[in-house]
Amino acid sequence: MENLHAVGKEFHHVLMNDFVPFWEKFSPDPVYGGFLCGFDRDGELFMEDKSVWQQGRSLWMFSKLYNEFGHKQSWIDIAQSGYDFINDHCFDEKGHMYFRVTREGLPLVNRRYYFSEAFAIMGYVEFFLATGKEEIRQRAIQLFKRMYHYYTTPGCFPPKVDPKTRSNMGHSIVMIMMNVCQYMRRVDNDPLYNEVIDSCLEKILHYFVREEEHALLETVGSKGERIDSPDGRLVNPGHSLETAWFLMVEAIYRRDTALMEKAMQITLWSLECGWDEKMGGIFYFQDVENKPVLSLEWDMKLLWTHCEGMIACLYSYWYCRDEKYMAWFNRIKDYVFSHYPDPGHPEWFGHLHRDGTPINYIKGSDWKGPFHNVRAFMLITQLVEHIENNDAFFA
């Protein structure tokens, strides 16, 4: 347990002395409000355009820090600026959220999905919990209703694949919808959230999870059919691990041991499928039949993927105290701490080649921001405390 205590201190130190200071210093836009996100190695701004994903995620981060890591007024002030920028600049005339806007908030890119909405809702929820302002809660509720409409109404956006030829269902939107409902349930008692989560659980556990293949697939047919194509065989270990710990959070809420044990099984499958036995680290994509993966970046090692794996392993260990989960946690942690830090420079690398060398020195972009790594280091710090305190898993 002494070693685990040291692990908790190590994660907390990196969180509060490396990750948070970087985003606190460079991300808030003093001119137009909101959050800048395109940073080179030492925080130099190389891209002024703003990712709307990162507006919601950064609002989430600064609000979460205030709620759970110290009531620092500057974090609330920064969050307020992001909240205002989102409301003023990140929605089109139909109420759909952009994917990217200019630094001053003019429209640039609109996409056919609604992940921007998901991250904004998460940010709204945490900001409401920090401030108690009812207007914020109502914005979260109204934006959820719009997201739910998109989720349940075919034809809102052009499909990726012609549904007359092949009707696909993607794992990513189901997992994020479940997580958004878990957030909304904290601030609103509408029974719809549990109903949607029930539906998501059904799809994840009976459509995407393939017991016979020991895998959680990224794409299946609209009724859960197995599709024999590169898309239909694709496993994204990071998504699978993220879903696993979302399921664990739900298992805690429901006091559901069967759900917890299934999530632990998914965790092991994902790690066994994704781990690179030759060079270490977790692959970005894998084919469940070990056939070629079409995405050329399949063998990249992404920081966020490893963050999700560490969270799932630590939840698992807290539940059962089985050392195999701690062994996996330590295996991933060793890889992370030996490959992603950038000594002498702030923040960490996000994207590595298979051999563990950096693809570039970017510290922030449309995709890499203060979310997966910050969330993981927050959660791991807290999970270590639960384990050390012998807190009941199903409290």
Q: Which of 311, 331, 278 lies closest to 386 in space, CA to CA? A: 311
E strands within the chain? 38-39, 45-47, 50-51, 100-101, 107-109, 168-170, 209-210, 215-216, 219-221, 234-235, 286-287, 301-302, 351-352
pLDDT digits (tens, 9 = 90+) for 70-116: 999 999 999 999 999 999 999 999 999 999 999 999 999 999 999 99
| DSSP category for residue 34 | S
For the whole model, what pTM was predicted?
0.98
Domain boundaries, the chain: 167-340+349-363
Place of tokens 């070990």: 290
DSSP for 254-315?
HT-HHHHHHHHHHHHHHHHHHB-TTT-SB-S-EETTSPPPS-TTTT-EEHHHHHHHHHHHHH
Distance CA 225, CA 244 (A): 21
Q: How confident is the model at residue 2 (pLDDT cuts 50, 70, 90)?
A: low
CA distances from residue 338 to 303, 335, 342 in whole angstroms, order as listed: 12, 5, 10
DSSP for 86-120?
HHHHSB-TTSPBPSEE-TT--EEE--SS-HHHHHH
Distance CA 179, CA 174 (A): 9
Instruction: For the domain covering 167-340+349-363, report its CATH number.
Output: 1.50.10.10
pLDDT digits (tens, 9 = 90+) for 117-170: 999 999 999 999 999 999 999 999 999 999 999 999 999 999 889 988 999 999
pLDDT digits (tens, 9 = 90+) for 200-239: 999 999 999 999 999 999 999 999 999 999 999 999 999 9
Q: Which of 366, 349, 266, 365 lies closest to 302 in space, CA to CA? A: 349
The pLDDT assigned to 52 comes to 98
Q: What is the mean pLDDT of residues 329-341?
A: 98
Residues 6+ positions from 2 with CB-CB distance below 8 Å: none
Does residue 55 carry a pLDDT above 60?
yes
The pLDDT assigned to 395 comes to 83
Pair 362, 350: CB distance under 8 Å? yes
pLDDT digits (tens, 9 = 90+) for 361-377: 999 999 999 999 999 99
In b/e form, how buried is each residue of 20-36, taking b as 16+ CB within 10 angstroms? bebbbebbbbeebbbbb
Q: What is the mean pLDDT of residues 161-187?
A: 96
